[in-house]
Amino acid sequence: MYFYKDGFLEKKDLHISPDDRGYYFGDGVYEVFRVYNGRIYEQEAHMQRLQKSASEVRIALPYSSQEIENILSKLVHENGIVEGTIYMQITRGEAPRAHPFPKDAQPVMLAYCTDVKRPTATIQSGIHAISFEDIRWLRCDLKTLNLLPNVMAKQAALDHGVQEVILHRSGTVTECSASNFMMVKDHILYTHPANNLILHGITRAVVLRLARALQIDVKEEPFTLQQLQQADEAFITGTTVEVTPVIHIDGKPIGSGEPGPITRKLQNEFERTFAV
């Protein structure tokens, strides 16, 4: 069962207009939630980010937060999701193609669940990555549907036979195609500051909170690809990848070439935040 526009229906009965501005312009915002044990993880934080993204691109949410939460919870429940994800997006609405905001279009919401499981194999083994120029716009803090640079970057990784890209702006590491990036050097955890150049990941915030509680020094400051080469450990954070070690970048091992001890500690702590 899906939610579309103003009601619940089956996917096969869902008709999307070619005039939807999400389709023409990527003119919309979205969120991806994780469901653990039938419960929506960090729902409040996701709702706040959705509100921020929508308000900054001047889309009026068609429902109150409470109404959206009720819709999502009904989707999880009715689809019998115990472990999975929720995808939701809100576009500016339907109107004949023209750049200005349409006068009387109604924002359109789409939401559905998946039963996609946790990526336990790569969480355990770690992944390989390449560095890749970050060519995105200057509002990467907004979770908008304009994901073509992210798509291109991810595909470049796969074409190189690795799983992810480490994005950088003129050598300064920002984040990854669909996750945030962190490195450990001399027991200090480094990650790009939460400004306009990265998405303010919900998982990033949880992991930084856990690190501080473990008395790990956290530095939210920019670092370069060159500094990254000297890192002891590296990992990515995100709703779908959780805390996944990065063990090789551009063909060279990070530290020992195995997931490091601080990464493992944060993985364990992270798992405890959703364990029953």
Annotated catalytic sites, by residue? 143
Looking at residues 11 to 40 of the shown chain, list those that interact with ligand PLP (rule: CB under 6 A): 32
Binding residues for ligand PLP, total number by CB under 6 A: 14
Which residue, 163 or 203, is less far from ligand PLP as judged by CB? 203
Which residue, 5 or 169, is less far from ligand PLP as judged by CB? 169
Q: Which of 40, 175, 234, 259 binds ligand PLP (CB under 6 A)?
A: 175
Among 5-13, 97-105, 213-221, 236-244, which window interacts with ligand PLP (CB under 6 A)?
236-244
Element spanning 145, H or E = none
Q: Which of 27, 95, 204, 266 binds ligand PLP (CB under 6 A)?
A: 204
DSSP 214-276: TT-EEEE---BHHHHHT-SEEEEEETTTEEEEEEEETTEESTTSS--HHHHHHHHHHHHTT--
- 191: contact with ligand PLP by CB under 6 A: no
- 203: contact with ligand PLP by CB under 6 A: yes
Q: Which of 22, 28, 201, 259 binds ligand PLP (CB under 6 A)?
A: 201
Which residue, 32 or 225, is less far from ligand PLP as judged by CB? 32
Q: Which of 123, 129, 162, 202 binds ligand PLP (CB under 6 A)?
A: 202
| C-alpha closest to that of 83 among 112, 42, 122, 114 | 114
Q: Which of 107, 126, 238, 255 binds ligand PLP (CB under 6 A)?
A: 238
Distance CA 229, CA 248 (A): 10
Distance CA 30, CA 91 (A): 9
Element spanning 135, H or E = none
Q: What token pair was written down for 142?
A: 């907004």
SS3 119: coil
Least distance (Å) between residue 192 CB and ligand PLP: 10
- 168: contact with ligand PLP by CB under 6 A: no
Least distance (Å) between residue 247 CB and ligand PLP: 20
What angle, rounded to 10 degrees, do the helices at 261-272 and 202-213 form?
110
Distance CA 182, CA 242 (A): 12
| C-alpha closest to that of 108 among 127, 95, 123, 89 | 89
Which residue, 95 or 198, is less far from ligand PLP as judged by CB? 198
Angular region, 140: left φ>0, alpha ψ -120 to 50, beta rest: alpha
Q: Which of 53, 180, 191, 267 binds ligand PLP (CB under 6 A)?
A: 180
Positions in the binding site for ligand PLP (CB under 6 A) = 32, 150, 175, 178-180, 199, 201-204, 237-239
